[in-house]
Structure 1
């Protein structure tokens, strides 16, 4: 139960961070989309670093169903536990969007109208998610777990800029961001395609980890939970 609470709390904080900084950027820099993206990306990068440090020792700070499923596929997390993580992550992300709305004196729930599911956006989500998985599990397989919080924060901050989708790379946060019609929102009609692209990216990332960092005969499979807990 402690681990599920940590996943829900971390996911809520992550979504509140993304949505809240997006609302603040809109208010502070009206009409300046590039500056808004700088502000949103910078807050997300450093905030994600802090959130991983906060909940990592309890749950591993997956905060992302793709990370959880890939960790289970590698044998680092029992499938039963993975199945329990997923609803906690989704509920946390929805709650985080509602919290961000309320903190900025908006309606608790407002359905986003920002359509994002173009071919370019979906390709970007495949790339962003594959890169995230490759980063996390390459650190696991090379004994550099203490660098995970900074590495993940830096990668997501950079991926805001080098991907056209601004790197959601997370099915749970894709669901959560439907509930805020703000700079960081995503229209419900775009979410299924985004999740499909993220799952494809997770599969690609899993394959790349297997290719680039094969486990030796006596080497255990990497455990993302232990990796982030040690950090």
Structure 2
């Protein structure tokens, strides 16, 4: 099963963008995953290819029309398509690594990129859209958010990263932020590598990394509950 992403956007030229480079790009070229970007305006019926209209009740900006979006979604995701339909919006549930892993293990996704003031609310229920938020910020449109989501998913597809375990020991993989990393040179501007990392004692290194991950999580993300350890005492050096 190949992970297949379909993007519904007013700017299909933005894709694959950065996903066409580095490991994601190699995976795309190698057929490990697939991507298509569809122009929403192609599903408008008037000669101006209108996709938006003024908001009901008044107010600034424009709102993307439900009927145009419905035709675009139906074309991209006909009956029987098992892929979830996502709407990138700051009103959505926060994207988590757990949700990313679930998406990466599935058949792909159909991703709707909103613009203007947003989309007609009726399309969310009418086409069973899962509203997804990538952060407490407002972007010009859903395209940048879609790229972020896809990057997070694609890197977990088997064969994309050099080593599968690279996706296991990282931030959020076990409910913690990742521990700090070091490499050569041994000393940099008077700062050395922690002695424990050059000790060769793997059990001690594991305890140090766990302690550092817990400390970073408590200090930087107090909203994340620190999961219980496996019983191995921790140490910080």
TM-score range, shorter chain: under 0.3
Considering fraction of residues, name the structure with more helix. Answer: 1
Which structure has the greater CA radius of gyration? 2
TM-score (norm 1): 0.27
Considering fraction of residues, name the structure with more strand. Answer: 2
Task: Pick 1 or 2: higher relative contact order, CA cutoff 8 A, min separation 6.
Answer: 1
TM-score (norm 2): 0.27
